[in-house]
């Protein structure tokens, strides 16, 4: 079973084009009336008076071939997309190597107890994806184009939990506030052989930072940022930026990936206006597929190094370590991170290899400033629902811990004491229909911030966060 792992997924985000299913070939009946299906060559069938051999009637009848079924068709409650086949347009586009996907995700989430403010907020986002198979589109063989557009709107409870790690990573992009639409990913991939591919363009890193059973952008799996990515890379890895790289593949699965990225985060601009103005980030990962007791898994190690100049409290695309401080510190040149990631299936459906569930984990380390995170880790269990009757459902339960660097913790210890973030998240993703998913989500967070301003007014207690997520695939 081929699955995405962390950074090597960069090379596997080419067009996922739906193809027409092959029509089933009926089994032929036995020849010459032989019920066992074996023709007696010693005593062949008798020749009729006409002098012509006997021909079974079924061979004389021509059955017209049925057109292949569209992967987008089907009854309203059973089709994979809400809007179906667009009167055949989706099939026509697929034949030309073009796949278009649009989905919306809406969140109603609140702090039910603890934290800074006990309130609920509503927010949502749209994602627009276009994948092009260059060869089918009449372009170069082995070429693929991937585009990702995003819209976000509404308000979130991210500032209300008392944690530095946002409880809703899906609402951080393209920008963490307001109503914003942007093209955050425009990537070109060219396979030079079955074992080597190069890519470049405007890269959406959260699309690439994926791990089986975990991570993602908060629309399908975990919502908390501490479980959405190895957060030690947050200082050095922009969310959307210009870059290029290559990957070495083995059995069509990337085992080594290397990238060179602009350090500037430019989700709402082209990126050329600040092209490499603050140095460059190098990112690489070795990732190996490993089977234990015949079950698939991955183990890998990766790292980043940036030549950029940073302030200890400069906001990152994934969270703002300086929320509440408003005090500037000196700048430092250079920042690094390294991490280990692993996943291991515990169960694979014998009738459907795409259905599995298992363990996942991550452990990362970074410099003690300018990276706001010195170390982090998470561990959990997730994947397809263990209930066989719920083929499309998924679930997850995970624990994360984020240890902040000394500059973050000691900047204002009396005014706003800062410890470390930790938390548990649980969700169950219900496939109401193939195109509509409803997910109840529960988070219990031990926030890094210990009290609000002014001091001693009220301690920030453990926050209990409940959310309801609805995703519609158009």
At residue 19, the pLDDT reads: 34
At residue 43, the pLDDT reads: 41
At residue 418, the pLDDT reads: 82
Query: Which of 286-294's residues contact partners 24+ apart within 8 Å by CB, and which partners?
Result: 286/255, 286/256, 287/5, 287/6, 287/7, 287/8, 287/254, 287/255, 287/256, 287/257, 287/341, 288/255, 289/253, 289/255, 290/344, 292/344
Low-confidence residues in the chain, pLDDT < 70: 1-67, 322-329, 412-416, 450-458
Kindly state the tokens that stand for 323. Answer: 């929320």
At residue 62, the pLDDT reads: 52
At residue 454, the pLDDT reads: 56
At residue 328, the pLDDT reads: 57
Q: Specify the pTM.
A: 0.83
- The backbone torsions φ and ψ at residue 183, rounded to the nearest 5 degrees and listed phi first, read -95, 105
At residue 214, the pLDDT reads: 87
Distance between CA 225 and CA 401 in Å, rounded? 11
Q: State the CATH class of domain 7-17+66-473.
A: mainly beta
- The backbone torsions φ and ψ at residue 147, rounded to the nearest 5 degrees and listed phi first, read -125, 140
Give 167-182 pLDDT, tens digit per residue: 999 999 999 999 999 9
Q: Break the chain into its structural domains and give their ranges.
A: 7-17+66-473
């Amino acid at each position: 079973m081929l699955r995405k792992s962390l950074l090597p997924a960069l090379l596997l985000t080419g067009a996922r084009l739906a193809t027409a299913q092959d029509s089933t070939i009926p089994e032929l009946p036995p020849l010459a009336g032989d019920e066992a299906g074996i023709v007696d060559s010693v005593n062949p069938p008798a020749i009729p008076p006409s002098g012509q051999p006997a021909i079974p009637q079924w061979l004389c009848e021509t059955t017209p071939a049925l057109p292949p079924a569209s992967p987008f068709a089907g009854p309203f409650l059973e089709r994979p997309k809400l809007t179906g086949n667009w009167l055949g347009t989706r099939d026509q586009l697929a034949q030309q190597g073009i796949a278009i996907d649009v989905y919306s995700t809406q969140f109603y989430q609140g702090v039910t107890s603890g934290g800074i403010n006990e309130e609920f907020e509503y927010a949502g986002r749209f994602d627009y994806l276009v994948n092009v198979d260059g060869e089918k589109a009449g372009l170069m063989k082995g070429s693929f184009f991937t585009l990702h557009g995003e819209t976000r709107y509404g308000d979130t409870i991210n500032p209300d939990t008392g944690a530095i790690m946002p409880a809703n990573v899906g609402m951080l992009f393209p920008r963490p506030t307001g109503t914003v639409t942007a093209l955050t990913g425009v990537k070109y991939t060219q396979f030079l052989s079955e074992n080597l591919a190069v890519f470049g363009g405007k890269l959406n890193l959260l699309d690439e930072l994926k791990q089986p059973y975990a991570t993602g952008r908060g629309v399908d799996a975990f919502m908390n940022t501490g479980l959405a990515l190895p957060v030690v890379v947050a200082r050095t890895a922009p969310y959307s930026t210009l870059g290029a790289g290559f990957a070495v593949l083995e059995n069509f699965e990337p085992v080594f990936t290397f990238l060179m990225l602009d350090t500037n985060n430019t989700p709402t601009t082209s990126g050329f206006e600040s092209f490499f103005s603050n140095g460059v980030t190098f990112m690489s990962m070795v990732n190996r597929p490993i089977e234990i007791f015949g079950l698939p898994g991955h183990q890998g190690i990766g790292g980043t190094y940036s030549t950029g100049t940073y302030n200890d409290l400069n906001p990152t695309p994934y969270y703002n370590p300086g929320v509440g401080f408003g005090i500037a510190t000196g700048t430092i040149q250079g920042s690094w991170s390294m991490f280990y990631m692993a996943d291991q299936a515990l169960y694979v459906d014998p009738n459907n290899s795409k259905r599995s569930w298992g363990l996942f984990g991550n452990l990362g380390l970074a410099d003690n400033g300018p990276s706001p995170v010195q170390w982090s880790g998470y561990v959990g269990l997730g994947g397809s629902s263990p209930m066989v009757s719920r083929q499309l459902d998924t679930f997850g339960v995970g624990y994360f811990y984020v240890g902040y660097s000394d500059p973050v913790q000691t900047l204002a210890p009396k005014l706003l004491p800062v410890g470390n973030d930790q938390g548990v998240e649980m969700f169950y993703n219900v496939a109401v229909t193939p195109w509509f998913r409803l997910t109840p989500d529960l988070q219990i967070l031990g926030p890094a911030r210990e009290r609000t301003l002014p001091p001693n007014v009220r301690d920030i207690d453990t926050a209990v966060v409940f959310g309801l997520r609805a995703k519609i695939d158009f």
